Amino acid sequence: MLDVRRLRLLSDLHRLGTIAAVAEARAYTPSAVSQQLSALEREAGVPLLERTGRRVALTAAGQVLVRHAEAVLAALEEADAAIAAVRTGPAGPIRIGAFPSAVRTLLPQALVALGRDHPALELMVTELDPVAVPAALRERTLDVGLLHDYDVAPAEADPALDSVPLLQETVFLAEPAGTAAGALAETATRPWILATPGTLCHEVTQRVCRAAGFTPRARHHADDFATVLALVAAGQGVSLVPELAAVTPPAAVRLTALGTRRRTRVAFRRGAATHPAVAAVVAALDTATRGPSGG
């Protein structure tokens, strides 16, 4: 019989690429991870890993087992959800991860509703960049997380996760109110406020500007949209901001809607959709998006 905990480690190795990364994610030593994976090979009766120096790669058998491991882990989530559904209602801890603009606009209304309708839930929110959400869900430090991508930069599906659409937002060009309004292409010679290179927001701005025929000239880098809008209001440049981040912009900022859209989804571990606590959070977030702040 294959050990589920070892299957999880094999799945982690497939995702993270190195034993050291798996050890860090699981708070194990690299030696302990190697021992567990060796034990899994003995259970399987075939080599699962090819070792070349300090690097390892999955064999053909390892690749097959990883695919089945994802299904096994999803089935365990479904079983946990089914058992939880037998209880009287949503109860216990539920850990929610969300990006800053969602924490400011969507989460307060959703948390109030959840506390009122499901008082047995222990709600815990962590402000988290969407890039970190899939790993946090896989590692079970989150139960529900908000992910987003853009129509110009679609995300790849994660086989270990399920998700449901939450909302689509307009992306705006934010300019100082005193400047002449114009098309995106007319900002080619103006300074820009960009996100940190390597982030999704930075890549989206690059793609949108390239489609308009230019490369944005960075003056400042900031990842918090409130900071971005404050810099725009101070006349320090122009930027792109999504709708949730522009609910109450400074008076000195003018917003022009663009054709680009940001798409937000509620994600959870595959198989967990029917868990009462997960379903309650998804429903509360969906209701919150239909309120004034959700657009």
Residue 248: which region, alpha, beta or left (left: phi > 0; alpha: psi -120 to 50)?
beta
What's the longest Cα–Cα distance across the chain? 71
Closest CA to 37 of 66, 76, 70, 74: 66
User: How high is the pLDDT of residue 111?
Assistant: 96
Closest CA to 195 of 175, 225, 174: 225
Closest CA to 147 of 246, 263, 243: 263
Of residues 89 and 115, more confidently modeled: 115
User: How high is the pLDDT of residue 181?
Assistant: 64
Q: Which CATH number fits domain 4-83: 3.90.940.20, 3.30.1200.10, 1.10.10.10, 3.30.750.24?
A: 1.10.10.10
Per-residue confidence at 194, pLDDT binned at 50, 70, 90? very high
Beta bridge partner(s), residue 269? 161
Q: What is the mean pLDDT of residues 115-126?
A: 94
Per-residue pLDDT tens over the stretch 250-278: 999 999 999 999 999 999 999 999 999 99
Per-residue confidence at 291, pLDDT binned at 50, 70, 90? low
Per-residue pLDDT tens over the stretch 205-222: 999 999 999 999 999 999
pTM, 2 dp: 0.76
Check whether 292 has a pLDDT greater than 70: no
Every domain of the chain and the residues it spans: 4-83, 90-167+264-289, 169-260
Rounded Cα distance, 178 and 152, in Å: 29
Check whether 84 has a pLDDT greater than 90: no
- The domains spanning 90-167+264-289 and 169-260 adopt the same CATH topology: yes
Asked whether 130 and 200 are in contact (CB, 8 A), the reply is yes
Per-residue pLDDT tens over the stretch 53-77: 667 888 999 889 988 888 888 888 8
User: How high is the pLDDT of residue 82?
Assistant: 76
Residue 264, φ and ψ in degrees, nearest 5: -110, 135
DSSP β-ladder status, 55-58 and 92-98: unpaired
| DSSP string of 225-278, one letter each residue | HHHHHHHHHTTS-BEEEEGGGGSS--TTEEEEEEEEEEEEEEEEETT-TT-HHH
Calculate the average pLDDT of the chain: 90
Per-residue pLDDT tens over the stretch 12-65: 888 888 888 888 888 888 889 889 999 998 988 888 998 876 678 889 998 899
Closest CA to 188 of 221, 216, 218, 220: 216
Q: How many CA atoms lie within 13 A of 45 on its CB side?
A: 1
User: How high is the pLDDT of residue 293?
Assistant: 41
Report residue 53 as tokens.
Answer: 């120096």
Q: Would you state the CATH architecture of domain 169-260? A: 3-Layer(aba) Sandwich (3.40)
Q: What is the mean pLDDT of residues 155-181?
A: 90
Per-residue confidence at 295, pLDDT binned at 50, 70, 90? very low
Q: What is the mean pLDDT of residues 129-140?
A: 90
Check whether 173 has a pLDDT greater than 60: yes
Rounded Cα distance, 96 and 278, in Å: 9
Q: What is the mean pLDDT of residues 122-134?
A: 92
Of residues 179 and 199, more confidently modeled: 199
Q: What is the mean pLDDT of residues 108-114?
A: 96
Which CATH code is given to the segment(s) 90-167+264-289? 3.40.190.10
Three-state secondary-structure class, residue 9: helix
Q: 215-242 burial by CB neighbour count: b if 16+ within 10 A, else e?
A: ebeeeeebeebbebbbbbbeebbbbbbb
